[in-house]
Amino acid sequence: FAPWTDPDQKPIIEFRNVTKTFGEFTAIHDLSLNIYEREFFALLGPSGCGKTTMMRMLAGFETISSGHIFLSGQDIGAIPPNKRPVNMMFQSYALFPHLSVWENIAFGLKRESRDRDQIAARVEEMLRLTRLTKFAKRKPHQISGGQRQRVALARSLAKAPKLLLLDEPLGALDRKLREETQFELMDIQEKTGTTFVIVTHDQEEAMTVASRIAVMDEGHLVQVATPAEIYEAPNSVYVADFIGDVNILQGRATPQGDGVSIDWAEGQPPIRAATDTTFSPGQACHFAVRPEKVTIDVERPDRPNTFRGKVIDIAYLGNISTYHVELAGGHRMKAQMVNARRLANRQITWEDEVWVGFTDTAGVVLEE
């Protein structure tokens, strides 16, 4: 994976030691973060972690308790919401029901009192961009949910904001339409060059659309990185567990060669894992390994990190199957296999005695 290293990127948003309190409750703790021009940036985290509060401070709907937010280098603390070059698209879309698609998109432009030809040209451009030209005359109730979402997007982009904030923009769409719309959003973001900041609690969505993701936990940033970094090199058990499926094994690490040896379960051989982190002998740690990195075999493979167990459950998911394997001592490990590969191999089924294992670079060793 490629870490984020583009020296030409200029920050469009800078959070500097931002804290937000509601009475006694601190929703955002001393948070600092840069978001760069033309990024598609996702704020990701479980309900209540403070994502929406971050957006509302950016848009100006919420005051900042302490710290500063800079937009293109300018402190926005004192700028009223309607004077910020920021637009926010809400989950409800907030379209005007009595206005046509065309008029909905034109609404903000008319309020800016531009001349009519200019407005018409811009609306036509937005209709083309969002593939809505043939729906221009319809009212919001005469189009589908996905089309309404595109109208809201067209309206938000009509004034060419430098920054568009999207709060759970696809929440109202069903799964298939959601996936299609994610690709549309990415396409439109790229074509317009607008910086998009999206709030979502859906990790797959964040992974799909975003160039970088900030994972939040109770008002703190836990990790800010590209989707691949977050998935392949999570910096904590929290991130490893929040993004995708994972096996987390608890143990004690002891330095060995260019990695560690982890004692993790009585009667099981230690785990041998490569790591750049320095551990002191016997230091408590977690080892996190994705199920797709865990192999499952009938014959014992010739390598370390191989454990004997019995298949207790198989979840068939069409493209992949997940095998739940119970090891001696009651420990469990999930192994995933692509079904196209499985069918070519010998079938493994319930109650089968198998070997599960992984290479020494398959997982990450995390400090407790």
| Residues near ligand ATP (CB under 6 A) | 22, 25, 27, 45, 47-53, 201
Q: Please list the alpha-helical segments (H only) found in 159-289.
A: 175-192, 203-209, 227-232, 237-242
d(CA 257, CA 342): 35
Q: Residue 171 or residue 269: which is nearer to ligand ATP going by CB?
A: 171
Q: Residue 25 or residue 175: which is nearer to ligand ATP going by CB?
A: 25
Q: Please list the alpha-helical segments (H only) found in 221-345.
A: 227-232, 237-242, 339-344
Residue 52 CB, nearest approach to ligand ATP (Å): 3
Residue 166 CB, nearest approach to ligand ATP (Å): 13
Cβ 31 vs Cβ 219: under 8 Å: yes
Q: Is beta strand 86-89 parallel, antiparallel or unpaired with respect to 247-256?
A: unpaired
DSSP labels for 106-169? HHHHHHTT--HHHHHHHHHHHHHHTT-GGGTTS-GGGS-HHHHHHHHHHHHHHT--SEEEEEST
Residue 57 CB, nearest approach to ligand ATP (Å): 10
d(CA 273, CA 261): 6
Q: Residue 26 or residue 147: which is nearer to ligand ATP going by CB?
A: 26
Q: Residue 45 or residue 291: which is nearer to ligand ATP going by CB?
A: 45
Residue 48 CB, nearest approach to ligand ATP (Å): 4
The residues pairing with 357 across neighbouring beta strands, listed in sequence order, are 295, 306
Q: Residue 219 or residue 251: which is nearer to ligand ATP going by CB?
A: 219
226, amino acid identity: T
Residue 167 CB, nearest approach to ligand ATP (Å): 8
Cβ 34 vs Cβ 11: under 8 Å: yes
Give the DSSP letter of residue 269. Answer: P
What angle separates helix 145-158 from helix 101-111, to the nearest 10 degrees?
20
Residue 129 CB, nearest approach to ligand ATP (Å): 28
Nearest residue to 217 (alpha-carbon basis) of 46, 64, 366: 46
Residue 214 CB, nearest approach to ligand ATP (Å): 12
Q: Residue 56 or residue 155: which is nearer to ligand ATP going by CB?
A: 56
Q: Determine the length of the chain.
A: 368
Q: Residue 145 or residue 171: which is nearer to ligand ATP going by CB?
A: 171
Is the dihedral angle over the CA atoms 305, 309, 312, 314 positive or is it negative? positive
On the 0-12 / 13-18 / 19+ scale of CB atoms within 10 A, 82 is exposed
d(CA 356, CA 348): 12
Q: Residue 53 or residue 236: which is nearer to ligand ATP going by CB?
A: 53
d(CA 274, CA 327): 23
Residue 217 CB, nearest approach to ligand ATP (Å): 10
Residue 241 CB, nearest approach to ligand ATP (Å): 17
Q: Residue 25 or residue 349: which is nearer to ligand ATP going by CB?
A: 25
